[in-house]
Amino acid sequence: MKSLEELAKIRESRREALKIRQGVPSKTEKAHIMMCGGAGCISSKCLDVVEAMKKALNKNGIADQVQIVLTGCMGPCDMGPVAIIYPDATFYRRLKPKDAETIVEEHIMKGNKIRRLMYRAPGSKEPTPKVDDIDLFAKQKKVVLRNNFYIDPTSIEDYIANDGYVALGKALTEMKPEDIIEEVKKSGLRGRGGAGFSTGMKWTFTAAAKGTPKYVVCNGDEGDPGAFMDRSVLEGDPHSIIEGMAICGRAIGAEHGYIYVRAEYPLAIERLDLALQKARENGLLGQNIFSSGFNFDIEIRIGAGAFVCGEETALLTSIEGKRGEPRPRPPFPANEGVWGKPTVLNNVETWANIPEIIRKGAEAYSSVGTEKSKGTKVFALAGRINNTGIIEVPMGTTLREIVYEIGGGIPRKKAFKAVQTGGPSGGCIPAEHLDTPVDYDSLGALGAIMGSGGMIVLDEDTCMVDIAKFFLDFVVDESCGKCSPCRIGTKRMYEILDNISKGKGKEGDIELLEELATTIKATALCGLGQTAPNPVLSTIRYFRHEYEEHIRDRKCTCNVCEFEE
Amino acid sequence: MVECSCNTSNEELAKQLDKIIDPYRDKPSGLIQVLTKAQNLVGYLPKWAQVQVAEGLGVSLQDVYGVITFYAFFSLIPRGRHKISVCAGTACYVKGTKMVTKALRDLLDLRPGQTTPDSRFTLEIVRCIGACGLAPAMIIDGKDVHGRLEPELIPELLEQYE
């Protein structure tokens, strides 16, 4: 395709074909069955359900009137496999292959919805049939995950039908590069990888940097334990990342991009690879895109399992095929990135926001969120909570709303203890701060971080010393060893924690941990090391009494730590 | 040095490895991609494969070895036919990774990093497979995710892997 008109033509015709997913009954089709194909539902055997559906459709001779689509992650992993049936937008959960025939013969053919497969709100006897009425979804706002309910991630036409590549068209034909950057700056978008640096500023620096060629890089090395947001975007809506990166390429004058994905996400790599091929076939990547003279293409790089490669300088080194060790900054990647050239590096979720900002304008985008944190944030909700899975909420939503209203509270009537955000770089937020709005600055003030979006809920049975030890163990294992504060310091901290957890702690250990933590934070080379002590510091800050109890009374109230005789 | 125990001869494998190397010849930046494919071909990365990759891409053997030992994905020793990767991400840890590893230890006498004497299973601990909603979870052969694990369910689950 060479023009916006051609794009519009595909959009209109495809949109007509997909009207059924907007609730408009179709003359030729009975239903579209959107099966969640996220990693969670796949491991809950959703593919068996799909097979059974196909069989049931064939048996009843209506296979040509019903489409089955495997979508990206819909969010509620613990209810999987889940599906939405259009046009009536009925949400079914915990599907088994044997349910397929009932759905086809009763719901699709006769219009009798299956009550037992519907969602029931906690404490309610009546089921909630429609997906939009379900409390869990109603509190959310989908910007990044805008397409996950509606499109087939393997179909570029589906993406186009939902206004895909409109933003790229606008950026290439109506906007000057500096306008694009200005729009992103005005949107207030901050890096979703965790640090929260202004995306627009990053682009400004790279655009102004001397040296060519320039590069655009996507960080999909989602290594934080307890985080799978990026995975759901990569698997569910790969074109949104491609479009975002191409827009940036135009803005900063780059023709080449890299997407760095961890090897642990084979499905994400497969879908991304297919999306790149389709984009090339349709002229949305390659030479002279939309006849604007702009050339852009993207290569996938696969990470081979090193947490430190999520750190930007380490990731860039890894793209070059080397050991992914970080290096001191400055020079920042904006000036010296891949191959020593100016590079913009943003996280998956950040990229998925870009097309929405350009298409709708900065003002519309920034109407959601708080003063200093604009837009929405995707979180991976897990741990001791009823509704686990992926959620997307406006910045400024309180932790209480997330844990109790969207997450459905703590299972087995246990008491909430803390929520851990930001993985090994973050901290634990206790019950007294549940009304904190979730934004970069509020979480930072509590000694936690926004991080990339992992949110692990801990209940009264979780020992905080054990959790701190868990994260330190992780860091010791993943430290690349280049700088001594991280390599040696975290190891010493781990040993102290290990002693405490075995009843061998001494008076003064807590103070020693704090001292080591302060030194490591101040002197480690990269973000991994500098933030590594956070889980320890934040648990000491809010749960010091648990440390003291372990040391003085040789007691673990939660009965997690095993003391040596 | 441990030689490949499978039926294909090293010479045959070396020929196939050459094909993998071809698009990256004298391009050191392709090292990680080539090693990934080489390991998928051979099962691990023996010295002969390292030498061949080093010569093909124009990097030193030392650099090849450095990259292999840096990334968790690569292995210098042969592994079992099936790789069990138990997730030790935060959500899984909170919900019972320890219980899963204990069950595997009791069942197969297998500790992380080890391979069963019959080369059927290799056990490793990995950091977050992104299935936190299904914790505790493990992934077998890099593709089959098994979630909501309970020790009693594990023996039956392993039966499908010969």
State pLDDT tens for residues B31-83: 999 999 999 899 899 999 999 999 999 999 999 999 999 998 899 999 899 99
Q: In what order do the strands lie in the sheet with A376-383?
A: A389-394, A376-383, A454-459, A416-421, A427-430
Say yes or no to pLDDT of B7 above 60. no
**Strands in B67-148 per DSSP E:** 82-87, 121-126, 138-140, 144-146
Q: What is the 3-state secondary structure (H, E, C) of A373-417?
A: CECEEEEEEEECCCCCEEEEEECCCEHHHHHHHHCCCCHHHCCEE
Contact B90 A454 (CB under 8 A): yes
Say yes or no to pLDDT of B111 above 70. yes
The CA distance from B41 to A452, in Å, is: 34
Delimit the domains of chain B by residue range: 10-70, 82-159
The answer to whether residue B86 neighbours chain A at the CB level (below 8 Å) is no
The answer to whether residue A480 neighbours chain B at the CB level (below 8 Å) is yes
Among A219, A195, A215, A221, residue whose Cα is nearest residue A203: A215
Tell me the average pLDDT across A146-171.
96
Residue A340's pLDDT band, with cuts at 50, 70 and 90, is very high
Among B48, B52, B54, B80, residue whose Cα is nearest residue B67: B54
Residues of B in contact with A223 (CB under 8 A): 127-128
Residues of B in contact with A423 (CB under 8 A): 90
The CA distance from B56 to A162, in Å, is: 46
Note the pLDDT of residue A165: 98
Architecture category of domain B82-159 in CATH: 3-Layer(aba) Sandwich (3.40)
The CA distance from A422 to A429, in Å, is: 11
Best of B35, B62, B95, B128 to substitute, by most chain A Cβ atoms within 10 angstroms, is B128
Residues in chain A, overall count: 565
Contact B131 A324 (CB under 8 A): no
Residue B1's pLDDT band, with cuts at 50, 70 and 90, is very low
The CA distance from B142 to B83, in Å, is: 7
Domains and CATH numbers, chain A: 19-138 (3.40.30.10), 156-363 (3.40.50.11540), 378-459 (3.10.20.600), 464-552 (1.20.1440.230)
Contact A40 B147 (CB under 8 A): yes
Residue A224's pLDDT band, with cuts at 50, 70 and 90, is confident
User: Which among B30, B70, B145 is the nearest to A324, CB-wise?
Assistant: B70
Omega of the bond leading into B136 within 30 degrees of 0 (cis): yes
Residues of A in contact with B58 (CB under 8 A): none
Residues of A in contact with B74 (CB under 8 A): 304
pLDDT digits (tens, 9 = 90+) for A530-557: 999 999 999 999 999 999 999 999 999 9
pLDDT digits (tens, 9 = 90+) for A477-509: 999 999 999 999 999 999 999 999 999 999 999
B78 CA: distance to closest CA in chain A (Å): 18
Contact A225 B94 (CB under 8 A): no
Note the pLDDT of residue B143: 80
Structure tokens at B102: 């204990």
Rounded CA Rg of chain B = 18
Strand partners, A257: A216, A298
Note the pLDDT of residue A3: 95
A77 CA: distance to closest CA in chain B (Å): 5
pLDDT digits (tens, 9 = 90+) for A444-486: 999 999 988 999 999 999 999 999 999 999 999 999 999 999 9
Structure tokens at A559: 């009965």
Q: Do the strands A119-120 and A127-128 form a parallel or antiparallel pair, or are they unpaired?
A: antiparallel
Residue A432's pLDDT band, with cuts at 50, 70 and 90, is very high
The answer to whether residue A340 neighbours chain B at the CB level (below 8 Å) is no
pLDDT digits (tens, 9 = 90+) for A251-267: 999 999 999 998 888 88
Note the pLDDT of residue A240: 98
The CA distance from A41 to A79, in Å, is: 8
ipTM: 0.87
Backbone angles phi, psi at A502, to 5 degrees: -105, 10
Contact B35 A222 (CB under 8 A): no
Answer yes or no: are the C-beta atoms of A165 and A244 closer than 8 Å. no
B106 CA: distance to closest CA in chain A (Å): 20
Say yes or no to pLDDT of A310 above 80. yes
The answer to whether residue B143 neighbours chain A at the CB level (below 8 Å) is yes
Residue B130's pLDDT band, with cuts at 50, 70 and 90, is confident
Say yes or no to pLDDT of B90 above 90. no
Note the pLDDT of residue B8: 64
Q: What is the mean pLDDT of chain B?
A: 90
Q: What is the 3-state secondary structure (H, E, C) of A230-293?
A: HHHHHHHCHHHHHHHHHHHHHHHCEEEEEEEEECCCHHHHHHHHHHHHHHHHCCCCEEEECCCC
B117 CA: distance to closest CA in chain A (Å): 26
Helix or strand run (H / E) with residue B47: helix B47-57
CA geometry: angle at A355 spanning A287 and A380, to 5°?
Answer: 125
Residues of B in contact with A390 (CB under 8 A): 133
Residue of chain B nearest A388, judged by CA positions: B133
